[in-house]
Structure 1
């Protein structure tokens, strides 16, 4: 091999096989993948390579993609009280705390979570940034700095987001517009917090069309099966030819609907090519508080929706705040939690869950997740042998690489026998 080799990954397992392969990375891309035999590596290659990493027979994968997270309001448990554990309380408490957010404060807290995510194998994420009169553009400017600071390890997409309504607070509309003019990648809304949910949806789509960006909505976050906003979202998506450019998160109403009603909603989503993100930690924590026994899970079964042709993903949503007072930004842990709650056990089902934090989520974010020759050398080494076991065991990420350069390492634990 005459090309200058940046990196050689040896003894890796890919594609859920037992076969070991070596990766050769040149100019930040996967140049060659070869079966790992002694004849594949010669002294000249070893001497010329900038780095050699022995995967030790562990699983090499694309890493994970966080399709729905809030970096701006992470790690504020010390500023919020949780007495009722409801969505209304979480919004109110966070709204109070937001008034005191500074750029430096948001940058510090968001950086903490981004570093958690990197060390857990996350290669890309979409963060919602609340853009309203309480924060103005302070959080947005901070997250832009976070995006730039960690670009060596992770790709960050910023969604300018109206959490606390829009039609009753037109200053929010102006701030969303400014964010889109200054580097936001897409726009998002929260119709269930607006006095006029339908108009809210239309206004968010108007902004998306004006700036030619995608849309992402927090939707139907309760356990009342009636008055879903899915029909309105689907209608606007098709009317504006936004198929494949709209996504929704939560949608816990679906979990409370009778089968026939749920299937009708799934058909609307499928026909409009609207992606859906399930947020197990938050959906479980905030819903069902008014039940004393047989407390409902309040989480959508994304595997059932996937059978209808809907692009489904799993994500963290919040980390250490009133919406979710725990979290470590591990998408493997979140996927494992989801699979447990959804009572999944078959390998085929678990394989679908793995797609929800890898290929499905990467596609939603329009990010690259291929592991083949010519693709960017972005991958993670997991302490396991295959994707299904990665979900079942919440496998430890051992190392990550972006464009052929190592971004993190977690030492493999060892047991010392006496």
Structure 2
């Protein structure tokens, strides 16, 4: 394959020659193989969605209060009633939708406090089913807490034994501060035993007294787990005293923890108990970046008990993030694309990522010739290329199991 007239993020204009799934060289002589003319538009690396819940996708049940806690209550009532076939159908629809819009790497949390582990079994099957179009990492997520109910700790262990990629946790949902701390240590012990990464929901609350990120950082350093730990949401950071943030953020950076805000859902769920002014409820991205913390973004939800909207487009997530944290200067806008590309690759971690000779040929041919317009219009890519193969076109078509098919916006 030859992609000619490609404009890269650093301003270079190149012709990209791909052979055997690898970027072989730039500006090679045009040949008779498949040729895509980028027409001087941006060609960029595909997106990472570093925090998502595939098991609950496309379950648009009304959350009247709009709070995180009502969403959890609704989910608890329905999760045990879901069949494996239903989960698989909804999840594959969502994965295709995300791939068509440029996302090739999806880290999903699956609730393993559902005692039959039906949701996990479904996700393990989907991971294998869709591997030609997307890579999925599964975090075993104890939604109801590790120590809130007898046996949840064993379910988490069983999920890891069955093949989940990461150990999850939710310390702010444990009954006491002490149990929250104990849950973090349990997660690290389990991750160490099975050589897994730690990927937690951390401090997802407006409560300024929720400060489990500091405990996560302590155990990351103690267990020498730098670069293997992610902290999702951390919305309480928005409400922390500035002096406390000033003290704790350098420690988080030293621990090499990736923080994963979820702007669409954080701004929807948080601040629900405020009158006016309302808190935005998102961890401060600029402040974390200035302290040397790796920050990547997640989409979190699509049409589920926590969020009634969502399309799977990571540019929508980025668009919300740059507005909430006022990242609108030229330098900030130019940097922002890293939040859904290179920073995600670092947290995954994904080697051979990026448009350079010798790397895997994973690319997006966009419809815009500059980053500002890509952010303004948030259009899906004209071509999604995975391993040197076109897997999606125009946000509408996807190549799945040997044939082209129309991308569905929701299951039918």
For normalisation by structure 1, the TM-score amounts to 0.90
Structure 1 segment 277-356 matched on structure 2, within 5 A: 277-356=260-339
Tell me the equivalent position of 1:403: 387
Question: Number of paired residues?
Answer: 392
Question: Deviation of residue 294 (structure 1)?
Answer: 1.5
Deviation track 1:166-224 (CA, whole Å, cap 9, x = no partner) reads 11334222222222222211111111111211111111111101101110111111222
Distance 1:9 1:135, change over 3 A: farther
Deviation track 1:302-353 (CA, whole Å, cap 9, x = no partner) reads 1210110000011111111121111011111110111111122112111232
Tell me the equivalent position of 2:96: 115
| Kept in 2: contact 1:379–1:402 (CA 8 A) | yes
| Kept in 1: contact 2:286–2:327 (CA 8 A) | no
Tell me the equivalent position of 1:200: 183
Structure 2: how far apart are the matches of 1:105 and 1:177?
A: 25
Structure 1: how far apart are the matches of 2:65 and 2:21?
A: 50
Structure 1 segment 82-101 matched on structure 2, within 5 A: 82-101=63-82
SS in 2 for 1:397: coil
Task: Confirm or deny that 1:378 pairs with 2:375.
Answer: no
Structure 1: how far apart are the matches of 2:93 and 2:286?
A: 32
Stretches of 4+ moved more than 4 A in 1? none
Task: Confirm or deny that 1:149 pairs with 2:129.
Answer: yes
| Kept in 1: contact 2:210–2:236 (CA 8 A) | no
Structure 2: how far apart are the matches of 1:98 and 1:292?
A: 32
Question: Deviation of residue 411 (structure 1)?
Answer: 7.1
| Kept in 1: contact 2:63–2:306 (CA 8 A) | no
Tell me the equivalent position of 2:109: 128
SS in 1 for 2:49: strand
Structure 2: how far apart are the matches of 1:135 and 1:396?
A: 38
Q: Tell me the C-alpha RMSD between the 2 structures.
A: 1.6
For normalisation by structure 2, the TM-score amounts to 0.92
| Kept in 1: contact 2:380–2:395 (CA 8 A) | no
Question: Deviation of residue 159 (structure 1)?
Answer: 0.8
Structure 2: how far apart are the matches of 1:213 and 1:75?
A: 29
Task: Confirm or deny that 1:211 pairs with 2:194.
Answer: yes
Tell me the equivalent position of 1:391: 375
Of 168-177 and 397-406, the range deviating more from structure 2: 168-177
User: What 5-or-longer segments of structure 2 have no aligned partner?
Assistant: 397-412
Deviation track 1:344-384 (CA, whole Å, cap 9, x = no partner) reads 21121112321010000111111242211111111111111
Distance 1:411 1:288, change over 3 A: closer
Structure 2: how far apart are the matches of 1:209 and 1:389?
A: 44
Structure 1 segment 142-291 matched on structure 2, within 5 A: 142-195=122-175, 196-291=179-274
| Kept in 1: contact 2:100–2:395 (CA 8 A) | no
Tell me the equivalent position of 1:416: none
Of 13, 21, 28, which aligns to 2:7? 13
Question: Deviation of residue 297 (structure 1)?
Answer: 0.8
| Kept in 2: contact 1:14–1:386 (CA 8 A) | no
Of 77, 80, 83, which aligns to 1:102? 83
Structure 2: how far apart are the matches of 1:94 and 1:265?
A: 33
Structure 2: how far apart are the matches of 1:388 and 1:353?
A: 10
Distance 1:172 1:411, change over 3 A: closer
| Kept in 1: contact 2:4–2:15 (CA 8 A) | yes
Structure 2: how far apart are the matches of 1:258 and 1:192?
A: 18
Distance 1:59 1:248, change over 3 A: same
| Kept in 2: contact 1:187–1:207 (CA 8 A) | yes
User: What 5-or-longer segments of structure 1 have no aligned partner?
Assistant: 1-6, 413-418
Of 88, 93, 118, which aligns to 1:138? 118
Tell me the equivalent position of 2:399: none
Rg bigger for which structure? Answer: 1
Question: Deviation of residue 135 (structure 1)?
Answer: 4.8
Structure 1: how far apart are the matches of 2:286 and 2:106?
A: 22
Deviation track 1:248-285 (CA, whole Å, cap 9, x = no partner) reads 01111111122211111212211211110011111111
Structure 1 segment 15-94 matched on structure 2, within 5 A: 15-17=9-11, 19-34=12-27, 40-41=29-30, 45-46=31-32, 49=33, 51-77=34-60, 80-94=61-75
